[in-house]
Amino acid sequence: MARKDLLKHLMSPPAAQDEARPVQRSDRGAIGAVSKSINELKSRAIIEVAADMIDDAGLSDRLDGDEAGIEALRESIRAYGQQVPVLLRHSPNTEGRYEIVFGRRRVRAMRGLRQPVRAMVRDLDDRQLIVAQGQENSARKDLSFIEKANFAAQMVKAGFDRKVICDALSIDKTVISRMLTVTDAIPEPLIRAIGAAPSAGRERWLSLARRMTEGAGTQLVAAARGEDSDARFAAVLAAVSARRERPGPLPLRDRDRTLGTATRGDRKTVIELSGDGKAFGDWLINNIDKVHRSWLDAGGAED
């Protein structure tokens, strides 16, 4: 290839659908070095892509819609242009389309403006996409604790190990463990009903997680009411804190003999018979049908 052709190829802006030519093993010497440099420059180029040619990909990182924030961003771009490019990859499913690695809010804003999106394009597989998304999230100050924790939980579900999650979010294993303690204890529907809750912070989410009991998440979704996510978090925390404390075991006695204990819960009652009550427990197992019928005959089913 002549020198002027190389320079012409370098200076002309790449089309949105162009891909950098991979360097072949046969490229050697000065021409090979120049070709490699051209390909590296092309891979760093910022191109313009029609917003309607960009699809979502990766994991969900935000819990709130943030329509007001999108509109404010749209007005800023309308006034000053798109200052920061997004990162895309070529769609693995549809020729000519792209998927977002990061920059979702900017793409949404540009769709509303019906303007092309300034973007960098990289060849990334699904794993690299999610790690890149996580690294970009870790540098952002506007994601709340629970949004980052929810992103980490999604990475666990996607099969990533703790080291990769730590690297992606730039946090250590202790913080990851605390995040996952929260997402393990609080069901995702309740987390989404609350939202980002930016003012709640890690310690208050951990406090809510410690107060959760089996089945409480579904019941508490109805308590997630408020004008914003911080208010909804406060309402849920107040509701779970006001729940009746589970009573301790009740002694089961027959006159002066202790037969065991009974523990009443919201969903079950547990009877433990030991010591003097062990023989009675063995008998009760073999005769529970008779005891139950006697209870039914006494009108127990109507209580």
Q: pLDDT at residue 240 above 70?
A: yes
- Which range of 41-50, 206-215, 242-251 scores highest in mean pLDDT? It is 206-215
Count other C-beta atoms under 10 Å from residue 55's C-beta.
14
Instruction: Specify the pLDDT at position 204.
Output: 93
Instruction: Specify the pLDDT at position 262.
Output: 87
- Distance of alpha carbon 104 from alpha carbon 151, whole angstroms: 15
How confident is the model over 27-48, as a mean pLDDT?
59
More confident residue, 8 or 138: 138
Q: pLDDT at residue 234 above 50?
A: yes
Q: pLDDT at residue 250 above 70?
A: yes
Decide: 138 and 168 in contact? Cβ < 8 Å.
yes
Instruction: Specify the pLDDT at position 35.
Output: 53
Decide: 16 and 49 in contact? Cβ < 8 Å.
yes
- Distance of alpha carbon 128 from alpha carbon 119, whole angstroms: 18
Instruction: Specify the pLDDT at position 32.
Output: 53
Give the pLDDT confidence of 257-281 residue by residue, as tens digits.
888 888 877 668 888 988 888 888 8
How confident is the model over 182-205, as a mean pLDDT?
91
More confident residue, 72 or 27: 72
Give the pLDDT confidence of 104-147 residue by residue, as tens digits.
888 888 888 889 999 999 888 888 888 888 877 666 656 789 98
Q: pLDDT at residue 171 above 90?
A: no
Q: pLDDT at residue 165 above 80?
A: yes
SS (H, E, C) the chain: CCHHHHHHHHHCCCCCCCCCCCCCCCCCHHHHHHHHHHHHHHHCCCEEECHHHEECCCCCCCCCCCHHHHHHHHHHHHHHCCCCCEEEEECCCCCCCEEEEECHHHHHHHHHHCCCEEEEEECCCHHHHHHHHHHHHHCCCCCCHHHHHHHHHHHHHCCCCHHHHHHHHCCCHHHHHHHHHHHHHCCHHHHHHHCCCCCCHHHHHHHHHHHCCCCHHHHHHHHCCCCCHHHHHHHHHHHHHHCCCCCCCEEEEECCEEEEEEEECCCCEEEEECHHHHHHHHHHHHHHHHHHHHHHHCCHHHC
CATH number of 48-194: 3.90.1530.10
Can you give the residue ranges of every domain in the chain? Answer: 3-45, 48-194
Instruction: Specify the pLDDT at position 97.
Output: 93
**Pairing, β 54-55 against β 250-254:** unpaired
pLDDT class of 6 with cuts at 50, 70, 90: very low
Q: pLDDT at residue 42 above 60?
A: no
Q: Percent of the chain beyond pLDDT 70?
A: 76
pLDDT class of 4 with cuts at 50, 70, 90: very low
Instruction: Specify the pLDDT at position 43.
Output: 55
Q: pLDDT at residue 33 above 60?
A: no
pLDDT class of 61 with cuts at 50, 70, 90: low
**Model's pTM, two decimal places?**
0.54
Rounded to the nearest integer, the mean pLDDT of the chain is: 78
Instruction: Specify the pLDDT at position 9.
Output: 38
- Distance of alpha carbon 257 from alpha carbon 115, whole angstroms: 83
How confident is the model over 164-181, as a mean pLDDT?
87
More confident residue, 28 or 252: 252
